């Protein structure tokens, strides 16, 4: 049996790749769902769905991610992640996440208070010296302006290098969309992620990440906002 590189896979999954999201039933809300199929190379392994609910300029983001990797029908890796984030004035205000990373359990709780952000996990409690903490919030392109990001699975506050790599056409469904390409890296955690955003609207379109041994994890959009993409058209590819 070929060896599955679990450490490299976790370096991507631990950034909170991926989520089903549900909104609170509050009047005058607007919600947006971002739903992706997740592939390891060309094999589908799960889904990542976000629902972002906006109320008076603040957001609630509910997240569910599920991945199952098999080799000749034999399970070799599983991952499940539930996360709720509350954002106020463009910054993370509260977070609670639970993760099962192939049997290893994680819990993260956090809250902004008095100019600090307190984070508690099963192993530690800490206060982040930042007035505006952000997670790897792919749904919000503003997170790319940060030099440090909170890992929603582990509670680690990671330094990141973000590079804008230019504009390129991206095929999404039957459409060809001018897209802005960004790359996020953290050498210590072997993190290497590329994300694309629609140039005109800033909407998140796709994600790719290297996971070791030449493998690639990819996000294919199932829907863009309120517009579902037929299964045979769910492609996000550079032209």
* pLDDT tens, residue by residue, 75-116: 999 999 999 999 999 999 999 999 999 999 999 999 999 889
| pLDDT of the residue at 189 | 83
Give domain 6-238's CATH number out of 3.30.70, 3.40.50, 2.60.120, 2.50.20: 2.50.20
Residues 228, 224: Cα–Cα separation, whole Å: 6
Tokens at residue 73, please?
């029908």
Tell me the average pLDDT across 109-130.
Answer: 94
Name the residue with higher pLDDT: 158 or 1: 158
pLDDT for residue 68 is more than 80: yes
The C-alpha atoms of residue 158 and residue 150 are separated, in whole angstroms, by: 6
The DSSP annotation for the chain comes to -PPP-HHHHHHHHTTT----------TT-EEEEEEEEEEETTEEEEEEEEEEEEETTEEEEEEEEEEEEEETTEEEEEEEEEEEEEEETTEEEEEEEEEEETTEEEEEEEEEETTEEEEEESS-EEEE--SS--B--TTSGGGGG-SEEE-TTT--EEE-EEEEEEEEEEEETTEEEEEEEEEEEETTTTEEEEEEEETTT--EEEEEEE-STT-EEEEEEEEETTEE--GGG--EEE-
Copy the structure tokens of residue 115.
């100019």
pLDDT at 211: 81
Domain ranges of the chain: 6-238
161-187 pLDDT, tens per residue? 999 999 999 988 788 899 999 999 998
Instruction: Give the contacts of 96 (CB within 8 A, at least 6 positions apart).
Output: 83, 84, 108, 109, 110
Tokens of 29: 């809300």
Express as a percent the part of the chain with pLDDT over 70: 81
How would residue 239 be classed by pLDDT, with cut points 50, 70 and 90? very low
Q: Which of 3-7, 91-95, 186-190 shows the lowest mean pLDDT across its residues?
A: 3-7
Q: In the structure, what pLDDT confidence band is assigned to residue 10 with cuts at 50, 70 and 90?
A: low
């Amino acid at each position: 049996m070929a060896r599955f590189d679990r450490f490299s896979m976790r370096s991507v999954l631990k950034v909170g790749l991926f989520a089903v999201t549900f909104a609170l039933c509050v009047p005058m809300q607007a919600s947006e769902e971002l739903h992706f199929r997740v592939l390891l190379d060309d094999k589908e392994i799960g889904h990542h769905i976000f629902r972002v609910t906006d109320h008076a300029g603040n957001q609630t983001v509910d997240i569910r991610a599920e991945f199952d990797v098999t080799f000749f029908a034999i399970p070799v890796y599983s991952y499940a992640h539930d996360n709720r984030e509350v954002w106020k004035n463009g910054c993370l205000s509260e977070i609670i996440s639970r993760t099962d990373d192939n049997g290893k359990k994680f819990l993260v709780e956090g809250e902004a208070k008095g100019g600090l952000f307190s984070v508690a996990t099963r192993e530690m409690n800490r206060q982040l010296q930042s007035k505006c903490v952000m997670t790897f919030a792919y749904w919000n392109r503003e997170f790319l302006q940060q030099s440090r990001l909170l890992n929603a699975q582990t509670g680690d506050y990671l330094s990141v290098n973000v590079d804008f790599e230019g504009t390129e056409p991206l095929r999404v469904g039957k459409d060809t969309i001018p897209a802005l390409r960004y790359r996020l890296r953290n050498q210590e955690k072997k993190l290497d992620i590329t994300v694309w955003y629609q140039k005109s609207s800033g909407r998140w379109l796709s994600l790719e990440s290297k996971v070791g041994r030449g493998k690639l994890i990819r996000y294919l959009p199932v829907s863009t906002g309120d517009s579902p993409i037929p299964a045979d058209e769910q492609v996000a590819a550079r032209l």
